Amino acid sequence: MLRRIPSAFWFLAAALGIAAPAAAQAPTVGFVFPSGAQAGAKATVNVNGANLQGATALLVSGAGVKAAITKNTEAGAIPVELEVAADAPAGLRELRVVTPRGTSNVGRIWVGAYPESSETEPNNSLQTAMKVAKLPVTVNGQINGGEDADFYSFQAEAGDTYVFDLTAYRMSSGLDGYLALYDSRGKILQSAQEPFDRDPRLIHTFKAAGTYVIQVRDSMYRGGANFVYALTMGKVPAITSYLPRGGRHGQTVTVNVEGVNLGSMKTMPVQIPMDREEVEVVPTTPMGPATGSISLVASDGNEVVEAEPNDAPAQATVIPDAPVVVNGRIDRRGDVDVYRFKPSAAGNLAFELYGRRIGSKMDPYLRIMDASGKDLQSNDDADGKDSRIVMGVQANTEYLIEVKTLDQNYGGDSYYRLAINPPAGQDFRLTVTPDALNVGQGGSTLVTVPIQRMNGFGGAVALKVEGLPPGVTASPAAIAAGAPSGQFTLTAEPAAMPGAMGQVRIVGTGKVGDKEVERVAQPTEGFVRPLEQPQPNQPLPQRPTQILTATATQPTPYALTVAPEQRAITVKRGQSVMIKVTAIRQMGQTAQIALTPGPLPGNVTLPAANIAANANEATITINVAAGAPLVTQNVIISGNLSNNVQVAPAISLTIVE
């Protein structure tokens, strides 16, 4: 259930790390304003956050964008010059700040295709609307607080079709955007507000020439410094619908596009790389670059597009044998898409509908029938709102497959991909958190690698870390068989250079059948959606990021360490081993440090202990019962000093007979 937030506190808390006392000195980026730059231009933007002083480098994802620090005197904001190549792909980029305190969380900037300007206050009413003389343009603005709303006036001619595309949520803004278009008398002509975590876009064709006004505000009349946006407006191209939504690896797909201000453009080619699961491109039209990108999913089978009319069995679109992916769309209210399918071999097949998972608005429903129309199986919600059926089929027997939506959505945003394949074999996917691994001189930091076990995969996965900076090492790392995640530590030498940073990869290797397979862990970050409030003691939802860093930092207030010879131990069942944990105190820290263990193998206990106030050592005892499993697993000891949590280097515990 969504809860209204009375202020921007929780969004800023997540963005600036308020809830993470152990990383209180790490640099944090809250927002960037102005929000980016035009391709082929330079722009000065302010990176706003905390602990940014002393920044030594900036990281920007993707190609074609250079970022340079122009002045570095304040902890809360640093000016940065962006230089964007003319051929730099438009769209979202990640930006991180590197300092001796570590590497920041992700800030986001937007590379645009049109000239940029910034709002001029006051523009909080129809009467004080900021005049925009030259279109198209991307206006960078902020909804500053209270019931702030920004108004922009412009001229349009009769028959002009204007696009108003708001970018806010995509840049991690706190703004839940709302757009309203007014005529010269103050009458609302059209408004837009998008669900499903997407920014609003308003498209309008003017019946008469004149002066008009577009309004930007938060849907709940909230505001704050981080409520930034970029509004692209004018007679610009916009893709409103396209099919197919995917293609085969290594092939060039002809995508059919629909939209406004596209000129003669009806199709566009998109190359699907062999080494990517998804490709995102900004269409270039005869009228200029489109305001948004299109995204295609890659597959390894046949790809087909539905052929209307196919609303009844007699009109069913015939599709080839599996593996195959069908790209379709619910075009109108009540639309039903029917497909005729004849497998060449008997066995189990998985019929999987992708709708919400790939950004569609539809709530799909899947039904499979025999050739006479008799129901065999149906499904509504198997993966979120999306549908899945796994059933046995007979060779050379016709089946009918019906796709429809259970809600009232239809049109360009109600698309789907229907994948028909043999049930997938065992596999696994890895993520990693946090996505900025900062480790103080002489200390350690904890890395968690959750695993998604697919189709019964239960094996162990060995982990290795590539690209660590000088002076930073990783403990042994693995995910035990059947475990939901693996944990290990990075440790910085006392002489490691603060600010030494590496862009790293964490690679997992596991045995699937008789083959060794590798999977690279996807970094993720916790985030707060607009209009939602984090629940106490509940983890934040995660979303992917593009850059994973490991950085040596200045010392933390204290660090924990274990002698190198005790970081890999072997213990027999029924025996115990004592480990000495040493505290390296900094900055006059003298308080007690409470020591607690992380997850332990079954029938292994490690009683909590304390390093007493003004003391620097404590001995802990790992007790391995007779029934403990024969495994190798990292034991993580964490310390808490006045809510500042640090970890000791991982102890690799091997249990033997």
Residue 328 has pLDDT above 70, yes or no: yes
Q: Is the pLDDT at 72 greater than 80, yes or no?
A: no
DSSP 235: S
Q: In this model, does residue 276 exceed pLDDT 90?
A: no
Is the pLDDT assigned to residue 51 strictly greater than 90?
yes
Fold assignment, 118-234: Jelly Rolls (2.60.120)
Residue with tokens 């595309």: 165
Report which of residues 294 and 180 the model is more confident about.
180
- Asked which of 54-68, 217-231, 316-330, 531-545 is least confident by mean pLDDT, the reply is 531-545
CA 70, CA 533: separation in Å to the nearest integer? 36
| Residue 197 binned pLDDT confidence (cut-offs 50, 70, 90) | low
Nearest one of 172, 294, 244, 295 to 544, comparing CA atoms: 172
Angle at 433 between CA 443 and CA 230, to 5 degrees: 120
373: left (phi over 0), alpha (psi -120 to 50) or beta: left
Sign of CA dihedral 256, 411, 171, 203: positive
Strand order in the sheet with 177-182: 130-131, 149-156, 210-218, 177-182, 188-192
pLDDT (tens digit, 9 = 90+) per residue, 435-470? 999 999 999 999 999 999 998 999 999 999 999 999
- Are the beta carbons of 54 and 75 closer than 8 angstroms? no
Residue written as token pair 């300092």: 99
Contact 520, 275 (CB under 8 A): no
- Rounded CA gap, 551 and 584, in Å? 20
Q: Are 227 and 218 in contact (CB under 8 A)?
A: yes
Asked if pLDDT for residue 13 goes beyond 90, the answer is: no
Q: For the chain, what is the radius of gyration of the CA atoms? A: 28
Q: Is 87 left (phi over 0), alpha (psi -120 to 50) or beta?
A: alpha
**Lowest-confidence segment of 72-76, 154-158, 484-488 by average pLDDT:** 72-76
What are the contacts of 180-186 at 24+ separation with CB within 8 A?
180/214, 180/215, 180/217, 181/212, 181/213, 181/214, 181/215, 182/126, 182/212, 182/213, 182/214, 182/215, 183/210, 183/212, 184/210, 184/211, 184/212, 186/126
Structure tokens at 640: 């808490």
Residues 609 and 618: beta-carbon distance below 8 Å: yes
pLDDT in tens, 544-594: 999 999 999 999 999 999 999 999 999 999 999 999 999 999 888 999 999
State the Cα–Cα distance between residues 320 and 371, nearest whole angstrom: 16
Element at 403 (helix H, strand E)? strand 399-405
Q: Which tens digit of pLDDT belongs to each residue from 468-501?
A: 999 999 999 999 999 999 999 999 999 999 999 9
Q: Is residue 136 a contact partner of residue 236, using CB atoms and an 8 Å limit?
A: yes
CA 111 – CA 295 distance, rounded (Å)? 17
- Beta-strand pair 337-341/317-319: parallel
Q: Give yes or no for a contact between 108 and 32, defined as CB atoms under 8 angstroms apart.
A: yes
pLDDT higher at 527 or 22: 527
Strands of 246-248's sheet, edge to edge?
246-248, 294-299, 278-281
- Dihedral pair phi/psi, residue 11, rounded to 5°: -65, -45
Average pLDDT over residues 596-612: 94
Q: What pLDDT sits at residue 282? A: 86
Q: Closest by alpha carbon to 144, among 240, 224, 261?
A: 224
CATH architecture of residue range(s) 238-299: Sandwich (2.60)
- Confidence bin at 5 (pLDDT 50/70/90): very low
Dist. CA 596–CA 616, nearest whole Å: 16
Residues 641, 590 contacting (CB under 8 angstroms): no
- pLDDT of 23 higher than 70: no
The arithmetic mean of pLDDT across residues 516-526, rounded, is 94
| CATH domain 9-112 topology | Immunoglobulin-like (2.60.40)
* Closest C-alpha among 70, 408, 3 to residue 220: 3
Of 154-163, 220-229, 516-525, 534-543, the poorest mean pLDDT is in: 534-543
Q: Under CATH, what is the fold of the domain 427-553?
A: Immunoglobulin-like (2.60.40)
* Residue 16 predicted with pLDDT over 50: no
Query: Does the structure show a pLDDT above 80 at 530?
Result: no
In this prediction, residues 412-416 reach a mean pLDDT of 93
Quickly count: other Cβ atoms within 10 Å of residue 433's Cβ: 22
Q: Which amino acid is at 645?
A: V
Read off the tokens for 460: 């162990």
DSSP, collapsed to helix, strand or coil, labels residue 104 as: coil
> What is the rounded average pLDDT for all residues in the chain?
92
Torsion sign, CA atoms 492, 497, 499, 505: negative
What is the per-residue pLDDT for 275? 79
Task: Compute the average pLDDT of residues 310-321.
Answer: 95
Is there a shared CATH topology between the 238-299 domain and the 302-421 domain? no
Return the pLDDT at 18.
32
Residue 64 has pLDDT above 50, yes or no: yes
Q: Token pair 């730059």 is at which residue?
A: 37
Name every residue whose Cβ is closer than 8 Å to that of residue 59 and which is 6 or more positions away in sequence: 94, 95, 96, 98, 103, 503, 547, 549
Q: How many Å separate Cα 46 from the centre of its chain?
A: 23
Q: How far is CA 260 from the centre of its chain?
A: 29
Percentage above 70 pLDDT, the chain: 96
**From the CB of residue 333, how many other CB atoms can be counted at a distance below 10 Å?**
10
Out of 3.40.190.10, 2.60.120.380, 2.40.50.100, 3.30.70.100, the CATH code matching 302-421 is 2.60.120.380
- pLDDT of 17 > 70? The answer is no
| Segment among 177-186, 189-198, 596-605, 617-626 with least mean pLDDT | 189-198
DSSP 459-473: --EEEEEE-PPTTEE
In sequence order, what are the residues at sequence separation of 6 or more whose Cβ sits closer than 8 angstroms to the Cβ of residue 58? 67, 68, 69, 80, 95, 96, 97, 98
Longest dimension (CA), the chain: 87
Q: Where are the domains of the chain?
A: 9-112, 118-234, 238-299, 302-421, 427-553, 558-656
Regarding the domain delimited by 558-656, which CATH topology (the fold level of the hierarchy) does it fall under?
Answer: Immunoglobulin-like (2.60.40)
Tens of pLDDT, residues 616-636: 999 999 999 999 999 999 999
**pLDDT of res. 422:** 92
Q: Alpha-carbon distance 507 to 429, whole Å?
A: 11
What pLDDT band is residue 12 in, cutting at 50, 70 and 90? very low
Task: Quote the pLDDT of residue 196.
Answer: 59
